[in-house]
Structure 1
């Protein structure tokens, strides 16, 4: 409910902000999606509450007349000049942080609702200033489909269950989490919280979550421990910084997950440096040798380690252990 109200307030703000003239109450009702389905009395109450809430947030909602010759139809708008902040001088690092924060939500649903509202305003003959949207432009570019589910669960304090595959694992396992926060760290998105199966805080990479995120309790079922620093906790739980580089042979059109953080390792040559037909040589930065070995083994015969020697030896040892138990094979890999 809180998320729906926030979306409604933002849509109302955008409607009042982009209009160059006053917008009537009925026009606002037809433009803002959440108002359209409400009855007359419910709309009146909702609109009055939203209008006052915007004002309480310091947003100057003005009342005027659409046609000054006939002062019988009041309208509303937000004057951009009164809404914008004055000139602020920031240091370079401060400006970088503010710039990042200002681009935090790039959500397809919001973009669609905004475009729909602008089209309806234009169709009604209302002059629209698209540039005014720059003062209310939260964006967030996220590829992981589970981001919104984890974000909502974090906001509502709802326990969740989900299927998760660790690096190198053959299959996913179901995990149960009280999500405390969703964070971006080293170019990847993670959810951090209390793993109720392990009884301790854990960090999960969103790109490794499979399927839907399921509610595993009621909203408000838990509280984040007082004094928890989500960023510091993420840094303590995250994999170590990539201080090593692996040189790998990767079969063409395979190991796409690995390729996301790999780079070409140079041209092929003669003898030992030649790349076998149908393969590519890539380099991958990594932190823990064990973690990198897990990832390589997860791709089976499609990835072969050339260097460093300690990583290659660990992968070979694990493959031999698997072969000794009859659990797998690596036929077809180049040597």
Structure 2
């Protein structure tokens, strides 16, 4: 029998024995009565029992230890309170349960934590309709589902997740974009962050002697443990992952200074609403609705890019060094768009597509799940399912169990064999289950099997999967009740799982209030009137729309609508909706409108259907970043690249190039090149 299987039998039997005895027991009794310990000598038992206790505690299952007055360790008494193993009942409303069911249906097969999410929903919805039998929901579609993104990335994520859980130091080779070099890293992993469709690792870098952020897609090769020790480090008590999930792009790294940026009244509402949390806002002296936005920054280049994207509606007031950077960037843009052509280095033979660093292989998410739940969690869930069926006198269909737990027939057979050996001590077993030839499972539960007849506490990875799924969807579910459900789950667990290794960062292009209002209109089939800021054209438009679904994509959250005036489906970014009003007038949903049609298209890829394609020159300094985002059309001899950029409107392309802060220039078409030059002239 494999060592891991022996360990699981010991741990499950220990839990069952302690809860069946309902009294404190000694180590000698445990050694004598619990399956897996009886054949050990004293030293082996002491080592195994200590290791099993430590592992159960790391899973959130805390044994109570009563020390004798005289301090003799052999006379310690051990017990397990039922509340330390069983999950407290959670009184979900029907709306909350439906929301949780929908969360799984939307994420299953794509979410990196899909399998532990399934187990978690089995546990928290115990006794209620199966969360796998999900209702159809047409009001939400996801283009970003938290997928790990291919075989290699999935393997890295799983290894990092395990290392965080076990406090194990890891080693890997890492490509540093800023220095354009790959080097060895030794890191104490503290936390995972999912932001902008990417997974990031927060951890203590031994090379730097400080906390650093590593993007998983830039790790090269395999992730390995640095030692064979059980644990290598202890996470600092003052580590707070929320600090890193609530930063603007210009705040990644050590703060250099605080910028003061004047924002014109035309877009002040948008900056204050969506960027105000990254600094402080005060009214400008003009009194025309303009504001001054003060924000700490670590990267002057990133802040310059954001300011330039806003065009004439933003200018830097200080500090002087940042003003100089902005002026230099504007002059660089002007030089690179002076005249009808840009001189650049010769093209290297062949194109640069093969040099892209992005790992885009998505593979089969179902066959290649990034995070597998601990087998311990699977076993206690299966035990509950089997005992419940046995008590009800029902046979289980093998195919149904395989689907519910997402395991193979061989894994099911192995798990049942393990559970058939788990006992209360003295030969009293928890259950006996048998897979019959007709494809069903017959279960004979033992008298004390009620120890496993209630759902167990969520293990760390299950709890993380559950809360991460809720946070990924947020307040965007029609008739949704994920926020109150999240609060109930946290209260039942006694802690917020986001503090235990994974955090989903809030999307920048979002608006919770707008989302809730749109959700109400979607459910009621009522028209909405919106005032929408078209940033590319720098104008406001008023629309009356039929809202069909909220969708997310690479750039944030959108509402998918049918615009009767355009006689077509239109998507509007939530962060650009200045005002929304739900009208009394209702509409009949059009069967030809597929609000989720764009999910596997531009929402996921970021490439809209375009009537034009521009060729952009990208500087050697910026080329490495663009390789991760865009196909490379040509490699140039000096390290610069040429990329093809689809676009619909010239204004969009102009603002895109301004945001590159001089590190990109339009080669063609000529009219787009001239449009950038004119925009730069206005900035000067």
TM-score band (shorter)?
0.3 to 0.5
* Structure 2 length-normalised TM: 0.25
* Structure 1 length-normalised TM: 0.45
The structure with the largest alpha-carbon Rg is: 2
